[in-house]
């Protein structure tokens, strides 16, 4: 599957109105083209059940389901891939377990991290935090769009900007060279996740259309 432009990460810590599958359903209706199941605590069996529910939603939509951190859950739920940050399960070993056709996301928090994960076999890099974020306390200080510019010019992989991304600032990440963006709070903490997703999707599509009109890379 292709690496999407709008990755929505499900989260039930910053809000309790919707469960993971409900967030996924609303995000898909709003135009998300990748869903990442992100749950840090709880039983493995419950994670597998949730991931399988989301898998049905994403398969109907024809888009990938990525599982954050948990290779075992991704395998058990027959997800399309995993996202592995620095210090998580090794990318090379994950590739051996998942095979050549599943998606593996790596970390692009710095130039060195980007090179390491690209060499290990990542399919894309999640780079950030671009802006200040409250959903990942250990993410470090906001690096701004310059981080995206550095990573995108260093490795020949799609770069997905993450950290404080909203409809108002998404174009700066894309203009810096991001292939797409990943969002958590902008969608999950919104009273209308579908509408929030649609707003970000519209901003992405408008940027891509204008870029194509000017003859820039798609």
**Structural domain spans, the chain:** 6-213
Q: How far apart are CA 153 and CA 85, in angstroms?
A: 20
Asked about 107 being catalytic, the answer comes back as yes
The phi and psi torsions of 180 (rounded to 5 degrees) equal -165, -170
Backbone φ and ψ of 175, nearest 5°: -65, -25
Q: Evaluate whether 111 touches 144 at the Cβ level (below 8 Å).
A: no
Active site residue 136: yes
What is the pLDDT, as a whole number, of residue 139? 55
Rounded distance, CA 145 to CA 176, Å? Answer: 6
Helix or strand holding residue 154 (H, E): helix 145-154
How many residues appear in the chain? 218
Look at residue 218 in the predicted model and tell me its pLDDT.
Answer: 63
Q: What's the mean pLDDT in 142-154?
A: 94
Catalytic residue among 29, 49, 95, 136: 136
Percent share of the chain, pLDDT over 90: 89
Phi-psi region of 78 (alpha: psi -120 to 50; beta: other; left: phi over 0): left
Q: Which of 26, 55, 107, 198 is catalytic?
A: 107
DSSP state of 68: E
Vertex 89 angle, CA 84 and 95, to 5°:
80
Residue appearing with tokens 């840090």: 40
18, pLDDT greater than 70: yes
CATH dotted code for 6-213: 3.20.20.70
User: Structure tokens of 100?
Assistant: 């050549």
Is residue 38 flagged as an active site residue? yes
Write down the residue that tokens 């090179």 correspond to: 115
Catalytic residue from among 38, 39, 55, 201: 38
State the chain's mean pLDDT as an integer: 94
What is the per-residue pLDDT for 40? 92
């Amino acid at each position: 599957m292709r690496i999407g432009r709008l990755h929505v990460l499900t989260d039930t810590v910053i809000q309790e109105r919707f469960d993971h599958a409900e967030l996924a359903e609303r995000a898909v209706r709003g135009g998300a083209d990748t869903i990442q199941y992100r749950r840090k605590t709880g039983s493995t069996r419950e994670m597998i059940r949730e991931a399988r529910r989301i898998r049905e939603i994403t398969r109907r939509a024809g888009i990938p389901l990525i599982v954050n951190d948990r290779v075992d859950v991704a395998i058990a739920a027959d997800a399309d891939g995993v996202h592995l940050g620095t210090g998580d399960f090794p990318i090379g070993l994950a590739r051996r377990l998942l095979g050549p056709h599943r998606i593996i996301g790596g970390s692009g928090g710095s130039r060195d991290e980007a090179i390491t994960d690209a060499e290990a076999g990542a399919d894309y890099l999640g780079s950030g935090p671009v802006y200040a974020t409250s959903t990942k306390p250990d993410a470090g200080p906001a690096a701004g769009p310059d981080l995206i510019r550095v990573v995108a010019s260093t490795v020949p992989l799609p770069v997905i900007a993450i950290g404080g991304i909203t409809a108002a600032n998404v174009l700066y990440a894309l203009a810096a060279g991001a292939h797409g963006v990943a969002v958590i709070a902008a969608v999950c903490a919104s009273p209308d996740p579908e509408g929030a997703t649609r707003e970000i999707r519209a901003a992405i599509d408008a940027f891509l259309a204008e870029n194509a009109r000017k003859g820039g890379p798609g």
